[in-house]
């Protein structure tokens, strides 16, 4: 009888242990499912946050890098009409190594940043006669001012005069690292005819685009 009671008691303990184990396992399973549901609910927000942070960091890096090579400037006179109007904003490529004829450049004239077109390069002789440009005695077309040239020629007037309002002018053998800069609006432009040749060190960049609306400089 005693052995029977012991066996029964042992069976009851095993059943109780199994029951407790099953309950514990069930609780763990429920916690696991709950945690999975919680993780699934929070995952989109975490992903969105990570993407947002990545985008912000990328923008900061992009702007920082671009600031070394590009700048946005405002033209504050009418010397480059009709190509660039007063108060027009332009995109300037900084520290451009190659400066070519007819590039529009930004340069420091005292404390003022001005914009003019490159006409004469180092080592060249530049001559204007009857509104014709000669580079080392070779006739060179200025297509960007053809409409104005036609307009002035029809009126019998000279578009490109010297500072003394003479018919043309000449600059011999431009020194190394100096450039002859003129405005497109020649009758109303202050440029190399007035303040002389411009040193390369004063040239801060090349105008590549007009902004608002966006338009590339050819």
How do residues 72-114 score in pLDDT, each as one tens digit? 999 999 999 999 999 999 999 986 678 999 999 999 999 999 9
**132-141, 158-167, 208-217: the lowest-pLDDT one:** 208-217
- Is the pLDDT at 43 greater than 80, yes or no? no
Q: What is the pLDDT of residue 108?
A: 94
167 CB-near residues (< 8 Å, 6+ apart): 129, 130, 158, 161
Instruction: Give the residue, 182 or 46, on which the prediction is more confident.
Output: 182
Domain extent for 23: 1-69
> Which of 216, 193, 212, 211 lies closest to 116 in space, CA to CA?
193
**25-29, 167-171, 191-195, 208-212: the lowest-pLDDT one:** 25-29
The last residue of one of the domains, among 31, 49, 69, is: 69
**What number of other Cβ atoms are within 10 A of residue 16's Cβ?**
10
Same-domain pairing of 95 and 203: yes
As a whole number of angstroms, the distance between CA 106 and CA 142 comes to 20
CATH number at residue 127: 2.10.109.10
pTM over 0.75: no
């Amino acid at each position: 009888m005693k052995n029977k009671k012991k066996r029964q008691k042992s069976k009851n303990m095993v059943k109780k242990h199994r029951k407790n184990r099953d309950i514990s396992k069930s609780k763990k399973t429920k916690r696991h499912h709950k945690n999975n549901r919680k993780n699934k609910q929070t995952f989109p927000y975490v992903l969105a946050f990570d993407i947002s942070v990545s985008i912000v960091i990328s923008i900061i890096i992009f702007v920082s890098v671009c600031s070394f090579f590009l700048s946005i400037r405002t033209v504050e006179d009418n010397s480059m009409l009709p190509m660039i109007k007063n108060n027009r904003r332009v995109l300037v490529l900084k520290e451009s190594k190659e400066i070519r004829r007819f590039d529009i450049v930004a340069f420091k004239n005292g404390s003022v940043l001005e914009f003019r077109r490159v006409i004469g390069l180092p080592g060249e002789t530049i001559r204007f006669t009857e509104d014709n440009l000669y580079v080392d005695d070779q006739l060179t077309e200025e297509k960007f001012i053809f409409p104005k040239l036609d307009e002035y020629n029809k009126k019998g007037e000279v578009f490109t005069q010297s500072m003394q309002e003479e018919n043309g002018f000449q600059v011999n053998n431009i020194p190394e690292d100096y450039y002859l800069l003129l405005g497109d609006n020649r009758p109303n432009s202050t440029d190399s005819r007035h303040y002389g040749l411009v040193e390369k060190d004063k040239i801060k960049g090349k105008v590549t685009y007009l902004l608002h609306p966006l338009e590339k400089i050819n």
